[in-house]
């Protein structure tokens, strides 16, 4: 067991700590939003992306073979009168050939502003929904993110400014990863990866439609004397399978806790 901890656990710890550090450090875009009352039931909704140096978010209008476009989705869209399209502008706007996607596209650096003029005939209409975006620097891209927005219940009063729930100048981290090793027989073990998931959040299956969410995946460092037996199995305390309203396709996802298990065999003598 001690030899296994030297051979197997250290690479796994390195892998997961590198993922954990990525989730803590690589948070290059901070979103906020504001509602301006233009009178007579008309409002200007402004979404602002504050972007770290050398990072970019993308236009709403991009080639299907390019990055995920920035988009905005409203819960009660049928009850909202949209006046014109959502406009976009940035403090640093770059339009042209992109070396990562190898196509022409439009992207924004430093600050990006997206504005939508609307009219509400019913002041009780909910002005909430979600925005989706992705960001890249010159070498790498982060997975697409979905941010919930809510302009508040009062749609006919003072101007309102909002930020994502839980944003306290820190980083939202709704999933906490850990692992444990269980010996099942001499020289054979189960490596369990446990995801403790905050309420209202989900972790997705390893097996997802290419047009859906980024699947959970595991990469094992090569370790002499350790053999992987079979594939990673997945279970959860609350498993949901069916049509997902965000991705509009069939997905499998886990709430509360997900467990991914890899069986391994220690092929080197313990002596």
Domains of the chain from N-terminus onward = 2-24+173-266 (no CATH), 28-162 (2.60.40.1250)
Tokens at 254, concatenated: 């886990």
Beta-bridge mates of residue 56: 136
**Tokens (6 digits) for 16:** 């997961």
Would you state the pLDDT for residue 20?
42
Q: How far is CA 101 from the centre of its chain?
A: 20
Burial of 18 (0-12, 13-18, 19+ CB in 10 A): exposed
- Predicted TM-score (pTM) of the model is 0.53
pLDDT of amino acid 117: 96
The structure tokens listed for 120 are: 């509400």
pLDDT by residue for the chain (271 residues), tens only, comes to 333 333 344 344 334 434 443 444 578 999 999 999 998 889 999 999 999 999 999 999 998 888 889 999 998 888 899 999 999 999 999 999 988 888 899 999 999 999 999 998 887 888 889 999 999 888 778 878 899 999 874 433 334 445 555 443 334 578 888 888 888 888 888 989 999 998 888 899 999 888 888 889 887 766 667 788 999 999 999 999 998 877 778 999 999 999 999 998 887 654 4
CA distances 56 to 36, 62, 92, 115, 197, Å, are: 26, 14, 9, 18, 29
Taking the alpha carbons of 152, 110, 114, 69 in that order, is the dihedral positive or negative?
Answer: negative
Pairing of strands 42-51, 175-185: unpaired
Report phi then psi at 68, rounded to 5. -65, 125
- Over its C-alpha atoms, the chain yields an Rg (Å, rounded) of 23
CB 60 within 8 A of CB 88: yes
pLDDT of residue 118: 94
Handedness of CA 196, 201, 207, 213 (dihedral sign): negative
pLDDT given for residue 163 in this prediction: 55
């Amino acid at each position: 067991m001690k030899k296994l901890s030297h051979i197997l656990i250290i690479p796994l710890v390195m892998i997961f700590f590198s993922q954990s550090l990525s989730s803590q450090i690589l948070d290059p875009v901070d979103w906020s939003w504001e509602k301006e009352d233009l009178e007579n039931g008309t409002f200007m909704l402004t979404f602002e992306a504050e972007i770290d140096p050398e990072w970019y978010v993308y236009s709403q209008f991009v080639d299907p073979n390019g990055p995920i476009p920035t988009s905005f989705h409203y819960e009660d869209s049928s009850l909202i009168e949209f006046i014109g399209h959502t406009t976009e502008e940035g403090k640093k706007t770059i339009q042209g050939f992109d070396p990562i996607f190898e196509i022409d596209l439009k992207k924004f650096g430093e600050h990006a502003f997206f504005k939508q003029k609307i009219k509400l005939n019913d002041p009780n209409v909910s002005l909430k929904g979600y925005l989706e975006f992705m960001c890249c620097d010159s070498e790498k891209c982060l997975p697409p993110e979905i941010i919930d927005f809510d302009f508040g219940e009062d749609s006919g009063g003072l101007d309102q400014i909002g930020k994502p729930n839980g944003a306290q100048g820190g980083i939202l981290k709704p999933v906490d990863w850990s692992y444990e090793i269980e010996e099942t027989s001499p020289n054979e073990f189960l490596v369990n990866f446990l995801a403790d998931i905050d309420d209202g959040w989900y972790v997705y299956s390893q097996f997802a439609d290419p047009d859906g969410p980024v699947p959970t995946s595991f990469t094992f460092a090569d370790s002499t004397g350790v053999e992987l037996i079979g594939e990673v199995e997945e279970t959860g305390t609350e498993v949901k399978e069916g049509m997902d309203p965000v991705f509009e396709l069939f997905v499998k996802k886990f709430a509360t806790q997900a467990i991914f298990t890899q069986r391994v065999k220690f092929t080197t003598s313990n002596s």
